[in-house]
Amino acid sequence: MDSRLVRRPVLDILSGRSQCLFALNASSQRQQSSYRRSKQRLNIKPDSSFLSHDSPQQDHIIFNPPSSAPSVFHTPLKFLPKEDKRRQLLAATAARFSSSPASALPPPIHKTQKFPHHHLSDADIAEILRLKRQAPEEWTNNKLSRKFNCSHHFISICLDNCDVPGIEKRKKLIADQEEVVKASWGPRRRKAREDRTKRIDLALKGE
């Protein structure tokens, strides 16, 4: 009876230790989420549906050398003699690449200019001034720019340099209207507009 009482705590300690070791082994065991198994499962055999219609059907070599410095064995065309045969080869290569259709080229990055430049004559500018003097309220800068296919900035420059009567009055009227609109702004909108003006000024300064 006494020996059993003595052995029981020892057995409890040993059994608890084995359970702790089993828990440690279970937590340190590699699972399916390990890097090697995940990498192996991503290594899918290529299927015919993965390839495009112009892909080669057999193993092939892709020639894609890294960029490097120009070779000393390459002589620029400017320094080749006139009777050198390499001039003919370079001209044939340039003709082959230049004869490619324009449809194969990528789309242009920069868009074409919205308004043509230097297309207005003195008669057109005189007509702009006549319309502005005749009906300044009707012929606004935007309407004149649409009629003559130019920017409203060009119209403003023409009117400022030609001293059209009523321009200063019109500017003052527009400024007063803007002040009335700004007076109805709240603090948040006013702060946002001030920040926007500061960002534009910094962008124009290149900062």
Q: Spell out the domain ranges in the chain.
A: 117-164, 166-207
Instruction: Please report the pLDDT score of residue 100 as a whole number.
Output: 59
* Residue 192: per-residue pLDDT: 94
Question: pLDDT tens across 31-72, in order?
Answer: 656 777 777 777 777 677 767 777 777 777 777 777 777 777
Task: Find out whether 103 and 135 touch, Cβ atoms under 8 Å.
Answer: no
Helices (H), the chain: 2-27, 35-42, 85-98, 122-134, 141-148, 152-161, 167-183, 187-205
User: Encoding tokens for residue 103?
Assistant: 């449809």
Q: Is the pLDDT of residue 186 over 90?
A: yes
Q: Give every CB contact of residue 87 below 8 A, 6+ residues apart in sequence.
A: 77, 80
How many Å apart are CA 82 and CA 77, to the nearest integer?
A: 10
The pLDDT tens digits of the residues spanning 67-106 come to 777 777 778 888 888 888 888 888 888 787 776 565 567 7
- Residues 124-156 have pLDDT tens digits of 888 988 888 888 888 888 899 888 888 888 888
Express each pLDDT in 8-22 by its tens digit. Answer: 655 555 555 555 555
What is the 8-class DSSP label of residue 104? G
Question: Residue 158: exposed, middle, or buried by beta-carbon count in 10 A (0-12, 13-18, 19+)?
Answer: buried
